[in-house]
Amino acid sequence: MKAARLDRYGPPEVMHIDEKPAPKPGHGEIRVAVHASSVTSGDARIRRADPPLVRLFFGLFRPKYDVLGYEFAGTVESLGPETSRFKVGDRVFGATGFRFGATAEFLVIKENATVSLMPESWSFTQAAAIPFGATTARYFLEDKGHIQESDRVLIHGASGAVGVAAIQIARMHGTAVDGLCGPKHLELIQSLGAERVLDYSRETPGNGAYDLIFDAAGKLKASTAKAWLRSGGRFVSVQKGLAKDRASDYPDILAWMESGKLQPVIDQIYGLDDIAEAHRKVDGGHKTGAVVIQIRG
């Protein structure tokens, strides 16, 4: 199969297209013909070994996994023994977890892991733009931030993959939510349901205004956030802790997609052959939502 591979850590140019054997589904596993994947900020961090601690978990001298790609959408192509949840041809989307491997023509995943049927009306490129941002935003807002309907919430870094999901998930909790982002993203963040959108290059929120601040970009100092919080307010950041990959998140995420409450935000769609260019875009640090890779179709 065709796959976007990397043999060493480094700049976007380390990404190249190569052939490798398609993985075989084992017990309880399905093989997915991948139609779309993405390059997340996480993929780019692993490629760059940034921070250097990445090497401890993903290979000291060279990357342990030679195919990145965390999010995917595609069709179930074959079933391993002892599977019952999906049938061949089902349209599914999900996340690979820390084994990666989604920027390739096929991937194998346990049928009871982070994979789900996708909404009928969604395209593969749309569905592939959802899991990374939605599961991360949900983890930080709900598990760490204990978001409540009565909260006034600020999402800092509202325009990245995590930020656009955070704005929408905060709205689903019935909270009043404001967004802080760069000047070219103001209209988008308003359209996703933010009440007030501030341009971080020239505006700062008032002191003592928020019950919960989520720094979805990992750029906000705790001391600055503290000033913007009401007394007793909570500050959570993508810098503190690691979001969990949970199969149990997917029924809700699917329902949010089907109801239109969770919309995909796609910066650009690249072909698999343009994987290095897509990584370069992500390294820029200002993508809008997801950078999607179309693998089939």
Ligand X SMILES: NC(=O)c1ccc[n+]([C@@H]2O[C@H](COP(=O)([O-])OP(=O)(O)OC[C@H]3O[C@@H](n4cnc5c(N)ncnc54)[C@H](OP(=O)(O)O)[C@@H]3O)[C@@H](O)[C@H]2O)c1
User: Which of the residues 87 through 106 are near ligand X (CB under 6 A)?
Assistant: none
Q: Which is nearer to ligand X, 91 or 185 (CB)?
A: 185
Residue 129 found at the interface with ligand X (CB under 6 A): no
Task: Check binding of 45 to ligand X (CB under 6 A).
Answer: yes
Nearer of residues 4 and 216 to ligand X, judged by Cβ: 216
Cα(175)–Cα(239) distance, rounded to whole angstroms?
Answer: 23
Site for ligand X in 190-249 (CB under 6 A): 200, 216-219, 238, 241-243
Q: Which residue has the tokens 């054997």?
A: 21
Taking the least distance from each CB to ligand X, the nearer of 68 and 76 is 68
CB 165, CB 193: distance < 8 Å? no
Burial status of residue 80 (CB atoms within 10 A of its CB: 0-12, 13-18, 19 or more) = middle
69 touches ligand X by CB under 6 A = no
Closest residue to ligand X using C-beta atoms: 160
The one among 12, 25, 42, 264 contacting ligand X by CB under 6 A: 42
The reply to whether 136 sits near ligand X by the rule CB under 6 A is yes
Choose between 148 and 239: whose C-beta lies nearer to ligand X.
Answer: 239
Residue 26: CB minimum distance to ligand X, A:
28
Peptide bond into 51 cis (omega under 30): yes
The least CB distance from residue 200 to ligand X, in Å, is 5
In 3-state terms, what secondary structure has residue 35?
strand
Cβ nearer to ligand X, comparing 79 with 180:
180
Measured from the CB atom, the residue of 219 and 246 that comes closer to ligand X is 219
List all residues 6 or more positions away from 58 whose beta carbon is below 8 Å from its beta carbon. Answer: 46, 49, 64, 65, 98
Q: Assess 285 for contact with ligand X (CB under 6 A).
A: yes
Interaction of residue 20 with ligand X, rule CB under 6 A? no
Q: Stretches 24-32, 36-44, 99-107, 228-236: which one binds ligand X (CB under 6 A)?
A: 36-44
Count residues near ligand X (CB under 6 A): 26
Q: Is 251 exposed, middle or buried (0-12, 13-18, 19+ CB in 10 A)?
A: exposed
> What ranges make up the beta strands (E) of 55-209?
71-79, 91-95, 106-110, 115-117, 152-156, 176-181, 196-199
- Minimum CB distance to ligand X, residue 181 (Å): 4
For residues 81 and 161, give the distance between their C-alpha atoms in angstroms, rounded to a whole number. 36
Candidates 56-64, 117-125, 145-153, 156-164 — which segment interacts with ligand X by CB under 6 A? 156-164
Q: Residue 233 CA to chain centroid, in angstroms?
A: 26
Using rule CB under 6 A, residue 163 touches ligand X: yes
Q: Which of 37, 38, 40, 123 is close enough to bind ligand X by CB under 6 A?
A: 40
The minimum distance between CB 215 and ligand X, in angstroms, equals: 8
Sheet holding 176-181, edge to edge: 196-199, 176-181, 152-156, 210-215, 229-237
The answer to whether the beta carbons of residues 129 and 165 sit under 8 Å apart is no
Amino acid at site 283: D
The site for ligand X (CB under 6 A) is made up of 40-42, 45, 136, 157, 159-163, 181-182, 185, 200, 216-219, 238, 241-243, 285-287
